[in-house]
Structure formats: C-alpha cells, structure tokens
Amino acid sequence: MNAASTDVGTPLLELRDLSVSYRTTEGALPAVRGVDLTVRAGEVVGVAGESGCGKSTLATTVLRLQPRDAAVTGEVLLAGADVLTMGWGDLRAARWADASIVFQGALHSLNPVRRVGDQVAEPITLHEPTVGEDEVTARVRDLLEQVGLPEGSARRYPHQLSGGQRQRVMIAMALACRPKLIIADEPTTALDVMVQAQILDLLAQLVRDLDLGMVLISHDLSVLADVCDRVAVMYAGRVVEFGAADDVFGDALHPYARALSRAFPRIGDPAARYAPAGLAGDPPDLRSLPHGCSFAPRCPLAIDRCRDAEPPLAPHATGSDGNPRLAACIRAGEQW
Ligand code: ADP
Ligand code: MG
C-alpha cells in the first residue's frame, strides 16, 4: 500500500527457507517446501493457489500453531525474532501482540453464549493484565467502532449478528493487542459477494490507517487482485511465482499462475477452490511428488527437461515496481 515504507527497517515477517512436513501413516507429507517471504509495514502480500497447496500450513506456522505431527525447518522471523526457537513466554507474547490471525470460520470461532464485547476483551485481559477494566471496555468499544460495527454491538451475542458482522468481530479480536502484522486466511470465503467486498475494504483501510503488514491468503484471485501489493502463487507447497500483484495477475510468468489468472473466477465462486477452468488434472499427491517440476504433469508447455529437476524460484524480469519478478519455471522467459 505504501511503497515508501517497503524498503526500510526490519521486516515485520520474514520466512527463510521454511519447510513444513506432516507425519502421516502413509509417510511424510511435505506441505510447505522452501518458502521465502518478506512482509513490511504498510503492505499487503497475497498468497494464492488451489486448495491443498500449503497456504494454511504457512499461516499457522507463522505463530507455531501447526499440529504436533508437523516437522518444521527454516526460520520464521517476527520483527527479527525466530518464532520457531523462542521460548513459550516469548511465543505467547508474540501471538496477538506481534502478529495475529483471522481465520475463515467466524461462525465457528466465536463462543455462542458469550457477548461479543467480552470475547474481544479476552485477549486484552489475558495478554495485558495491568490494563484496568474501564480501559479494556473503552478499547473494546473503539475496536468495534474501528471495524465498522454499530454502537451497542459489544452487548450482543454472535447469533444476533450477520455473517459479515461476525467476521468484523473476528477482525476486532485480531487487532485487540495492537499487532503490527495480520495474517488473514480466507477471511471472506464464507461470506456472500457484497459482504466480501466490504470486509476486503475494511482490511485494506486498516493496513493504511494503522500501518500494518498483512498476509492475505485466498484461493480466489479476484479477492487478492484489488488489495495486494505483491503476490506469491503457491503450487504443491512451493512458491512458483512472486511479484507485484499487477504483474502476476496481468501477465504471469509461470504457466500455473497464468492458468489461475486466466480462469479469473467470479468473486466467491466455490468451484474456484479447485482446478481453475481450462487446467486439466489435479495437484500432485504431496507424498509422492513427480520428479522435476511438480506442475509438469498438468503443464501445457512441459518439455522433457522440465522432468529432470525442480526449477528454482529465480528472477526472470524486472517488475512494474522495479523489483525482480520471480518464477520457478525454465520456460518463464519465453514468449508463449
Ligand atoms: P491450503 O490452505 O492451501 O488448502 P493446507 O495447508 O491446508 O493447504 O494443506 C496442505 C497439505 O497438507 C494438504 O495436502 C493437506 O491435506 C495437508 N495437511 C494439512 N493439515 C494436515 C495435518 N494436520 N496432517 C496431515 N496433513 C495435513
Ligand atoms: Mg487453507
């Protein structure tokens, strides 16, 4: 959002060669493979890709919320401190106060028998025990106002609110301890189209007003297109293309990113979660990845050499923002 702030200071989030593998009864399932990603204050970085490509695994790993059966390697730096090696005390502080997550299911995450004001207050009273009761009440009121909820919402129960209002409550909760980074994992997927647009507007406005950094995750490119500054497209656990949102959506380098952006779905189309229109087949089974490029079996441009080795994510052009455009494809520089 704010180009001037994208190249100064310590990044809010830095993933370095992050890999996450789940132990399953049928063997190791590498859900995230060697991901590098940087998010700075004032910018929205999108993460796109079909269902199952590792987006939620990436999100939960940032706050070490992944299940016990996940093996994680690499580094996750939150404001310079590695989340993967920090002690529980620091980790508790980092959750909510450095970064927080907004998930898709606002319906299911709120406690149906507690007033929403009390639920928004909870992270404040837990993480900032010295804050007095009156101040907590005032902060909750401000938070609910900030996310556009009508006055008096604090006293309501979740069932008295619409789906969009409940998602606003979730966003207020995520902001409660004044984090600098918000990770929003499919934050609008359960909502209808009009409400989706309102929630995206709200998120974009919060990034601007509070100078936050945001990772916005969606299978739906139409959700990412308007809001993101830069976008990472994931396939089979890897980032296969990275660059300025306009470049990736307008003129993708990687055949998978191009298929996704060509199939630009209607906002909210549930079918868009799975194979994009015009792209045959399914993503590979992560437990038995094909040799070479994992997209080759579905790729209309695949040649023999694509099956030799997995192509590294490498610069192929200069982006409209002046930064290198990255793609993991040996044919990315060609005209096709
Ligand atoms: P996305 O959010 O892009 O849909 P996920 O991160 O949820 O992708 O899943 C990536 C892969 O990891 C999928 O193959 C999924 O089945 C697998 N996976 C996710 N969570 C677990 C888990 N707890 N145990 C084993 N496999 C998992
Ligand atoms: Mg997901």
Share of the chain above pLDDT 90, in %: 77
Taking CA 135 as the corner, what is the angle to CA 131 and CA 138, rounded to the nearest 5 degrees? 145
Q: What is the mean pLDDT of residues 214-230?
A: 92
In a domain, 112, yes or no: no
Query: How high is the pLDDT of residue 190?
Result: 79
Q: Which atom of ligand 1 is nearest to the CA of 185?
A: 2
Closest Cα to atom 22 of ligand 1: 22
Q: Is 232 in the pocket of ligand 1 (CB under 6 A)?
A: no
Residue 52 Cβ < 6 Å to ligand 1? yes
Nearest to residue 333, comparing CAs of 245, 264, 261, 241?
Answer: 241
* DSSP structure class, residue 284: P
**CA 256, CA 300: separation in Å to the nearest integer?**
10
Range of the domain at 233: 11-98+179-327
* Of 4-18, 80-94, 126-140, 249-263, minimum mean pLDDT range: 4-18
Weakest mean pLDDT among 65-79, 183-197, 220-234, 264-278: 264-278
> pLDDT value at position 172?
94
Residue 68: which residues within 8 A CB-CB, separation 6 or more? none
For residue 162, being part of any structural domain is answered with no
What digits encode the pLDDT tens for the residues 5-51?
444 568 999 999 999 999 999 999 999 999 999 999 999 999 999 99
Residue 55 Cα to ligand 2 midpoint, Å, equals 5
Does a structural domain hold residue 240? yes
11, 124, 22, 13: which is closest to 63 by C-alpha? 13
The yes-or-no verdict on residue 262 having pLDDT over 90 is no
The number of distinct structural domains making up the chain is 1
Mutate to test the pocket of ligand 1, among 19, 24, 50, 57 (most ligand atoms within 8 A of CB): 57
- Angle at alpha carbon of residue 109, lines to 194 and 186, rounded to 5°: 45
- Ligand 1 atom with the smallest distance to the CA of 58 is 6
Considering 11-25, 212-226, 267-281, the range whose residues carry the highest mean pLDDT is 11-25
Across the range 203-226, mean pLDDT stands at 92
Identify the band that residue 158 occupies on the pLDDT scale cut at 50, 70 and 90: very high
Q: Mean pLDDT over residues 307-326, rounded? A: 96
- Summarised one tens digit per residue, pLDDT across range 96-127 is 889 999 987 666 789 999 999 999 999 999 98
Residue 70 included in any domain: yes
Please tell me the distance between residue 57's alpha carbon and the centre of ligand 1 in angstroms.
Answer: 6
Say if 146 falls within a structural domain. no
CA 296–ligand 2 middle distance (angstroms):
23
- Tell me the whole-structure pTM to 2 decimals: 0.92
What is each CA distance from 271 to 36, 116, 194, 225, 266, in whole angstroms? 29, 33, 18, 18, 10
- The percent of residues above 70 in pLDDT, for the chain, comes to 91
- Please tell me the residue having the least CA distance from ligand 1 atom 23: 67
- Rounded distance between C-alpha atoms, residue 253 and residue 261, angstroms: 11
- H-helix or E-strand spanning residue 263: none
> What residues pack around ion ligand 2 (CB closer than 5 A)?
55-56
148 is a domain residue: no
51 CB near ligand 1 (under 6 Å): yes
Please report whether residue 292 resides in a domain. Answer: yes
CATH of the domain at 28: 3.40.50.300
Q: How confident is the model at residue 270, as a pLDDT?
A: 56
